[in-house]
Structure 1
Amino acid sequence: MEGAMFYWIYWTFWIYLTFFMDKQNPYRLKLSVIVLIVIIFSNYHFHIGSIEMYSSGPILLVFSYLFLAQEKLYSLLYLFICSLIVSIAYVTFHLFEIFDPIWIIFKKEWMMGITIGYLAILLQKTLKGRLLIVISGTMQGEFLYAFILSKYQFPYPIGSFAYLDACALIASLLVGWSFLENAGAILQNHFHFFEKGKQKSS
């Protein structure tokens, strides 16, 4: 069922941000509010001309732009370029799905999640940067994809539950990868500590 993955993952994020994340973290309150707003407005949709649009998609895009606007000019330009690369990859994936569906060898959400997630990991080093280019890039891709399909009179809802499922999956994969990266650093420091202790004792 479309939307199930989105609700599970976003509610998990909200519970973690609200009850388990360090209260001194400056992003804790902002992120918990954003996640809750996205969940609340996920089922609301409206029309702009002939195009149907769900509210959560544009809300995510606006919040991502607000975070991007806080970056310095050089970082902002690079993030914008990365966001465009993600947009092109997102639209290309969907177009290949239409014109050559045989290469979809397993569930498309997972294929897209792994592909876009890996691209974000290559382009950005921090979890914040990865999430920003994924959210802004995929939503920009949604608008571009809907525009392309409208030329052929194919209706496509922007920011639907199918998109939210894919976006939630990509976000969870990036958070999981970031956790593994940090866990590796912690283990490395832990082993260095023991190695130093052995050297002192010898």
Structure 2
Amino acid sequence: MEGSMFYWICWSFWVYLTFFLNKQNPYRFKLAASILIVIILSTIHFGIGNTEVYASGLFIFILTFISYSKEKLRAIIYFFICSYIVGIAYVTFHLFEIFDPVWIIIKKEWMMGILLGYLAILLQKTLRGRLLIVLNGTMQGEFLYALILSKYHFPYSIGAYAYLDVCALISFLLVGWSFFENAGTIFQNHFNYTGKAKQKSS
């Protein structure tokens, strides 16, 4: 069922941010509020010509621009380049799915999530940067894909549940990867510290 993965992951993030994350964290309220707004807007949509646009996807798109608006010019330019690369990869995947669906060997949401998540890890070093380029780039891809389909008179809904499922899955994978990255650093520092302590004691 489309949308089930989106709701499960978003509600899990919201519960963690609201009840478990340190209340002193400066991003806690903003992230929790943003997730809640996305969930609320997920059922609202409007028409532009023959294309339906869901408010949740549009909100995510605008939010990514706002998040990067205070960065330096060099960082903003690199952000747009990375988002464009993710967007092209997103559209390419969908086009291959139409013209040659045989190569999709697993469920397309997972395949797309793994590929785009890996691409974001290569392009950005921080979790924030990875999430922003994925969310912005996939929405760019949604608009471009809808434009391509409109030339062949195929209906398409921008930012619908299928898109939200993919975004939620990629976000979940990136958060999980970031956790393992940080966990590795913590363990490495711990073992280095204990190793040095043993050398000093001997």
Alignment TM-score > 0.5, same fold: yes
- 1:74 to partner: Cα distance: 0.8
Distance 2:5 2:29 in 1: 23
Q: Secondary structure at the match of 2:47?
A: strand
Distance 2:5 2:156 in 1: 20
* Post-superposition CA distance 1:45-84 (Å, at most 9, x none): 1101111111100000011110011211111111110000
Matching residue of 1:109: 109
* Post-superposition CA distance 1:109-128 (Å, at most 9, x none): 00000000000000000000
Kindly provide the amino acid, as one letter, of the partner of residue 172 in structure 1.
F
Distance 1:34 1:19 in 2: 16
- 1:95 to partner: Cα distance: 0.3
User: What is the TM-score with the length of structure 1 in the denominator?
Assistant: 0.99
Matching residue of 2:50: 50
Q: Secondary structure at the match of 1:46?
A: strand
1:118 matches 2:118 = yes
Matching residue of 2:188: 188
Matches within 5 A, 1:131-146: 131-146=131-146
* Post-superposition CA distance 1:12-37 (Å, at most 9, x none): 01011111112222111111110000
Matching residue of 2:36: 36
Distance 1:152 1:98 in 2: 13
Aligned residues: 202
Q: Secondary structure at the match of 2:158?
A: coil
Q: Over aligned residue pairs, what C-alpha RMSD do you find?
A: 0.6
User: What is the TM-score with the length of structure 2 in the denominator?
Assistant: 0.99
Unpaired runs of at least 5, structure 2? none
Matching residue of 1:167: 167
Between the aligned residues of both structures, percent identity stands at: 69
